[in-house]
Structure 1
Amino acid sequence: MRRHFCAGNEASDAMEYDVVVVGAGPAGLSTAIKLKQLAAERNVELSVCVIEKGAEVGSHILSGNVFETRALDELFPNWKELGAPLETEVTQDQFAILTGDNGSVNIPSWALPSSLNNHGNYIISLGRLCKWLAEQAENMGIEIYPGFAASEVLYNSNKSVKGIKIKDVGIDKNGQPKDTFTPGVELRARQTVFAEGCRGSCSEEIIKEFDLRQGKDMQTYGIGLKEVWEIPEENHKPGFVQHTVGWPLDTQSYGGSFLYHMKPNKVLVGFVLGLDYKNPYLSPYQEFQRWKLHPSIRQHLEGGTCISYGARALNEGGFQAIPKLTFKGGLLVGCSAGFLNVAKIKGSHTAMKSGMIAAEEVFAALYNQSDESVFSGKSVDTFESLEVKGYQKSMENSWVWKELNEVRNVHPSYKWGFYVGLLYSGLTLRVFGGAEPWTFRNKSIGDHATTGKKDHYTPIEYAKPDGKITFDILTNLTRSGVYHEDQPAHLKVKPELVEWPASISYQEYGAPETRFCPAKVYEYTVDEQTGKTELVINAQNCVHCKTCDIKTPGNYIKWTVPEGSGGPQYDSM
């Protein structure tokens, strides 16, 4: 197999593979598994490596998740016999409009579009599913390395991608090497597949480097916050699914919620808010806590115990914001490319399918580059100009493309307000089926530029947490298992915007980062004698949601990867 260290005068050791996959989420693991399945069918060897910045596969995975099995059915038709962790089939589907802190209107199931019907789907922990996929992958001979973060994209002399570099470890907060210092290894590949999820740091670099968004809409984002509760068995309704829109959000903010009962006695609750909201005093976390106090939500949680908490940014730009998928040396899959179905709040099935299609096209391209087999003894440099263009065409001909095209106008319609968006969404999903001859565009400015200045808004007074249903951030943060070794802060103020935090964000916008961050990473101190304001970044609290990289005024924060294995340690998210 083609796995060897290169040393000599190299700046760091290097290993070569046919394919390196960055990210062990559903897209990345599906890519690796499909590659190995194809290699087995052709009776050829193929070296595939998957790296994952989480301490374990699944420890950085956070999702709703009502899972649609369509892609899994294709990848492993016998997944039930193989023991895939899908145990709670949806039995009851409810959609409600919350009209106030007590009122709600349930929409009957017959009035909902079929795309929002979850019967036949499963309530799962996506983290557990990824762990199971990783087990299947390793049984096939795929090398998976959790705890290693891709910090740098490597390029050939012709600017094509030749792999990634693992982040150095063992550097203290002052930038000095510790006794544990280990330089990062280069992973070089004939094709590098970026499957980092939403707002992946390497993926974003690739998109800019190759101008993959040319002619596409700007990506827009939301933040999803989630808790897992254990409740008394007598209150449990396995298979119950509830989604809500409306209160506590105002009519100009896009968002909604989910509540799922999963076996054995867990309730998964989550709140999603579009990051194009305007009010700088709004706190997504506090809105989430307030939402749980609504009677239709609270009744599911009373008597229970919150056992896990986390947050993650998600793509909301939809079909219009999908970038070009291929470039010399690699391609984008899953949420790195933005394949989330916003209307369904589902992206796992589309992510998996994109990985499977990528694998088919990568395998075909590599095989055709060799006279005899994928393994011909050629160096990875032989493939430095290879762009797997067939992946783009195959995706455009897939059910993923059709599904996302059908719902392309749902999210953009909410720019005219909640009620217009709700009405139009019903029409396009129930009547038009996405066949309308027009396409609404996303906003032409980033989510950070939609925040209003503080003088135009009134501060929001949120109730103190009761410690039973609602909690302060730091209490909930302990439930995320977040941990980072002593190291330089991975959240960096961009050098050209070093004056922005204190002089612009704090003074003009009221420091919205102290409210939108779901982990209390950002705070300001004011010197009593000089009156000088200073930003404090508590990077050790970071749960890797990427919201600051999206929403800080002026976009002054750059999110970079910390040492591998740092961050949240999710168990059943």
Structure 2
Amino acid sequence: MSTIEREAMEYDVVIVGAGPAGLSAAIRLKQLDADLNVVVLEKGSEVGAHILSGAVLDPCGLDALIPDWKEKGAPLNTPVTEDKFYMLGEAGQLRIPNAPMPPLMNNHGNYIVSMGNVCRWMAEQAEALGVEIFPGMSCSELVYGDNGEVKGVVAGVFGLEADGSYGPNTEPGMELHGKYVFLSEGVRGSLAKEVIAKYDLQAGKEPQKFGIGMKEIWEIDPAKHKQGSVTHTMGWPLNSNAGGGSFIYHLENNQVYVGFVVHLNYANPHLYPYMEFQRFKHHPMVAELLEGGKRVAYGARAISEGGEQSMCKMVAPGVALLGCSVGMVNVPRIKGNHNAMLSGKAAAEAAFDAIQDGRSADELTAYETEVRTGAIGKDLSKVRNVKPMWSKWGMLPSLALGGLDMWVASIFGKPLFGSMSHGKNDADSTGRASLYPKIDYPKPDGKLSFDRLTNVSFSFTNHEESQPAHLKLKDPTIPVAVNLRDFDEPAQRYCPAGVYEVVEKDGAKQFVVNFQNCVHCKTCDIKDPSQNITWTVPQGGDGPNYPNM
């Protein structure tokens, strides 16, 4: 517990993160009991500022939470009208027929959305019910009670000195206490990471696996625009270097979401995920679509990909982990927002029952039971082998065997291959640089492809430069002494925002952290081969300001 003297406010439930999971929990709590005191704390400058997702939304989560969402004006304006899958080669493409695909891969009834705008609308619904929502409030610490339970969070610390100490202009923030604390920070949240470690919540589970997802919004020629069209690709340019693929979604207003995902268990440390994305746009099929258009936004974030076998224990005394804090993405469907919403609803119902029973700060085991045995568990169980198959056998065998596995699961309720193991975590999957060839990436042309720093300006990222760096090095000598020597310091490449550089000064190599560029994707916290980088929250309101992601 912090020794700083702070004011404290008491709530029934404190929720960290105004994403789909946290907002769903807040809404459901107030639906169940209008008198509950519920607060949502969001580190972004506004709700939605840090939300980035594909996204094709399965509305089942909204259906369960707000059945009349259409009448209430939810921004689900573009139903999917066509679904196409391609295998890419460098100069051409082969369409994969829809017919042999498992039923769960069908996007009929789903919507192309901006999840940032969906969350903004959900925040309006929550506030109308009496939920207090405070954007621009980073939660930098957990508060523990006398028995080791999570009692609350510290939020709203501003004006720290550059060395992290408190100075004359520092605002110490407040403690917000709750009978229960919900952590819905998204992938690899700093408080969730602390809780998982403190209570050993990953024990007995497979390591969580991740991908890095990068996304641009393009305005294209109206003659090429097909509102409602959904395209996914695999193959080139990644081929055997890494798992991953792309998405191209046509939403309204002649806009297209163009995204690229690279699985972070790749071995070759010379791989440059951002440049793989930029190269992808020069494929003839993609270039023809984008030529004459303009990119209007860019962003990136990590994606939890481990699935059912990697989901940690979700509860500890006084605290529950929601949505991507646990990892509830259905990898082959490229969807997790529906499960995030359902998890928030389930956590709210468990907390409501506990409070009604006069309980507080215990473990909400009913929440975990519902997640693992209810709709979320059923959704993830059917696809649990797709990611480990891809990691072990590569793309083509996993396509065939994974498809068969999902077909069997769709018919009989259980996958054919049982439950496969993931093996190493993503940091340990990184190989030594001397064992892998360097990759020659073409220079961006400034029309279809862009250098990294120029693109970061389209994320509208800003950090107060006098604050301490929120990217912490456990040992500042490791980047040069170990990572540069053994791995050609892959932080220079895996970061999609150009935060990390190796420069030469006075004849010596130095590792530079440009934390001002950080888009809060958390890739460094995941992929660093020495696990030397810890991502923490900067002061509230800093980071990207995504307009329509």
Match of 1:315 in 2: 304
**3-state DSSP class of the match of 1:450?**
coil
Identity of aligned residues (%): 48
TM-score (norm 2): 0.96
The offset of 1:430, in angstroms, is 2.5
- From 399, 405, 414, the counterpart of 2:375: 399
Cα deviation, 1:216-260, whole Å, max 9, x if unaligned, reads 111011100000011122221100000011111132521111000
Matched, 1:435 2:424: no
Match of 2:494 in 1: 516
AA in 2 matched with 1:152: E
The offset of 1:166, in angstroms, is 1.3
- From 193, 200, 204, the counterpart of 1:215: 204
Q: How far apart, in 1, do the equivalents of 2:294 and 2:529 lie?
A: 36
Match of 2:41 in 1: 51
The offset of 1:111, in angstroms, is 2.0
**3-state DSSP class of the match of 2:257?**
strand
Are the equivalent residues in 1 in contact too, given 2:80–2:229 (CA < 8 A)? Answer: yes
- From 24, 39, 59, the counterpart of 1:69: 59
The offset of 1:499, in angstroms, is 2.4
**3-state DSSP class of the match of 1:358?**
helix
Q: How far apart, in 1, do the equivalents of 2:254 and 2:292 lie?
A: 12
Unpaired runs of 5+ residues, structure 2, are none
Are the equivalent residues in 2 in contact too, given 1:217–1:441 (CA < 8 A)? Answer: no
Match of 1:488 in 2: 468
- From 63, 80, 89, the counterpart of 2:79: 89
Q: How far apart, in 2, do the equivalents of 1:369 and 1:177 lie?
A: 39
Match of 2:363 in 1: 387
| Matched ranges for 1:14-413 at <5 A | 14-40=8-34, 45-98=35-88, 100-175=89-164, 180-251=169-240, 253-369=242-358, 383-384=360-361, 386-413=362-389
Match of 1:549 in 2: 525
AA in 2 matched with 1:283: Y
**3-state DSSP class of the match of 2:542?**
coil
Q: How far apart, in 2, do the equivalents of 1:525 and 1:252 lie?
A: 27
Match of 2:399 in 1: 422
Q: How far apart, in 1, do the equivalents of 2:381 and 2:64 lie?
A: 22
**3-state DSSP class of the match of 1:502?**
helix
Match of 1:466 in 2: 445
Comparing 440-449 with 254-263, greater Cα deviation is found at: 440-449
Are the equivalent residues in 1 in contact too, given 2:4–2:172 (CA < 8 A)? Answer: no
The offset of 1:181, in angstroms, is 2.5
Q: How far apart, in 2, do the equivalents of 1:197 and 1:104 lie?
A: 34
Cα deviation, 1:483-540, whole Å, max 9, x if unaligned, reads 001211010111xx33210011111111111011101000012234xx3211100000
TM-score (norm 1): 0.92
Match of 1:562 in 2: 538
**3-state DSSP class of the match of 1:170?**
coil
AA in 2 matched with 1:79: W
Q: How far apart, in 2, do the equivalents of 1:430 and 1:95 lie?
A: 17
Match of 1:379 in 2: none
Q: How far apart, in 2, do the equivalents of 1:535 and 1:25 lie?
A: 34
Q: How far apart, in 2, do the equivalents of 1:360 and 1:238 lie?
A: 37
The offset of 1:180, in angstroms, is 4.8
Q: How far apart, in 2, do the equivalents of 1:10 and 1:534 lie?
A: 35
**3-state DSSP class of the match of 1:80?**
coil
Match of 1:5 in 2: none
The offset of 1:302, in angstroms, is 1.2
Cα deviation, 1:336-360, whole Å, max 9, x if unaligned, reads 0111111111000000001001111
Q: How far apart, in 2, do the equivalents of 1:270 and 1:462 lie?
A: 19
Comparing 176-185 with 350-359, greater Cα deviation is found at: 176-185
Alpha-carbon distance change, 288 to 10 in structure 1, aligned in 2, over 3 angstroms:
closer
Cα deviation, 1:532-567, whole Å, max 9, x if unaligned, reads 211100000000000000111211101111001100
Match of 1:374 in 2: none
Are the equivalent residues in 1 in contact too, given 2:405–2:417 (CA < 8 A)? Answer: no
**3-state DSSP class of the match of 1:193?**
strand
**3-state DSSP class of the match of 2:238?**
coil
The runs of at least 4 aligned residues of structure 1 exceeding 6 Å deviation read none
The offset of 1:107, in angstroms, is 1.1
Matched, 1:526 2:504: yes
The offset of 1:446, in angstroms, is 2.1
Cα deviation, 1:398-440, whole Å, max 9, x if unaligned, reads 1110010010011100121222111111111234436236434
Q: How far apart, in 2, do the equivalents of 1:113 and 1:421 lie?
A: 14
